Amino acid sequence: MGETVPLSPELVAWDVTDSVEPGERGESALPGELDALLDRVGPERVRALAVSGCSVSHAPEILARYADRLPALRAVFLGFTPTERWEISWIGHGDITPVLEAYPLLERLEVRGSDELALRPVAHDRLRVLRFESGGLPGAVVRAVGASSFPALEHLEMWLGTPAYFGDNTIGDLDEPLSGARLPALRRLGLRNSEYQDDIAAAVAAAPVVAGLDELSLGRGALTDHGMEALLSGQPLTHLRVLDLHHHFLSDPMVARVRRALPGVTLDLTRPPGALDQPYIAEWE
C-alpha cells in the first residue's frame, strides 16, 4: 500500500450535518459535529464546510456562534444533501444572513434548496462567489441580493425556478443585479432554471452588467426563440468567453443563428430530451 498523502486544507470541504431526519428543525447535530471536527483537525485546517441534512435551518446561527473558533473558514456550502436522499426543493433553510455577518473574510457561499430561505441586505467586502441552486428562489432573496453590497463578488448564480417550489420572484426583482451598480467585480453571471427565461433574456440584452462579464449562463430554463431573438438583437455579446444556454428550447434555425453570431464564444447549446416537443424545467443537475 502506498503512502497516504495528506490533503491540503484548501482542497477539503469538511462534511457536517445539521438535521438528520425530516421535521427535526428543533434539534441539530451541528454543534457536536463541529466540536468533534475542531478537536480532531484543529481550527486552521477548517477552511470550508459543507452542511448537509434534510434541514439546515439551524446552521447559520450555529456557525455564527462558532466564528471565533473558525478563523480560517473561507467557504460554506449549505444544503449539501444528495438528491437520492432528499430532493432539492425539500431542503429546509432559514435566514442565511448571519453567516455573512459573522465571517467578514468568507469568500464563497453556496446554498442548495429554498424552503423558508431568507436573506437580508448585507455589505460584505470579501465574498467572491454566491450561488443559489433551487427549484424556486424566493423573490425576497433575489431582492436582498440586489440590495446588498458585494464589491469583490466575481460569480453570482441564481436558479430562479417556479412558484411551485417557492420561486415567487419576478423580472423586476433582477433590476439591481442587472444594473451591476453594486457588483463592480462581477465576471460570471448565471440566471438559470426559470419559467420566464425569455423575459430574462430580453432584460439581459440591455443590462449594463453584461459589458463586464466573461461568462453568462441563461441555461436550464424555458428559453425559446422569442427570448433568443431579443438577446441577439441587444448589446454585443462577442466579448464573452462563455455563453451557457444548455437546456434550451430553441429551434434548429435559431441554434444555427447563434453559432454564426458568436463564432469566438464557447457555447453550450445542449438540449434536454424532447425539448422540441414539450418544455420542462429541471430542478437539479
Per-residue pLDDT tens over the stretch 1-33: 344 545 676 678 999 999 866 554 567 999 999
Q: What is the pLDDT of residue 20?
A: 60
Pairing, β 155-161 against β 188-194? parallel
Is residue 76 within 8 Å of residue 110, measured between CB atoms? Answer: yes
CB burial readout 60-75, b (16+ within 10 A) else e: bebbeebbeebeebbb
Give pTM, 2 decimals: 0.91
Give pLDDT tens digits for 187-230. 999 999 999 999 999 999 999 999 999 999 999 999 999 999 99
HSE (CB half, 13 Å, CA atoms) of 235? 14
> Which is nearest to 196 in space by CA: 265, 267, 142?
142
pLDDT tops 60 at residue 283: no
Indicate the pLDDT class of residue 281, thresholds 50, 70 and 90: very low
**Dihedral sign (CA 136, 141, 143, 146):** negative
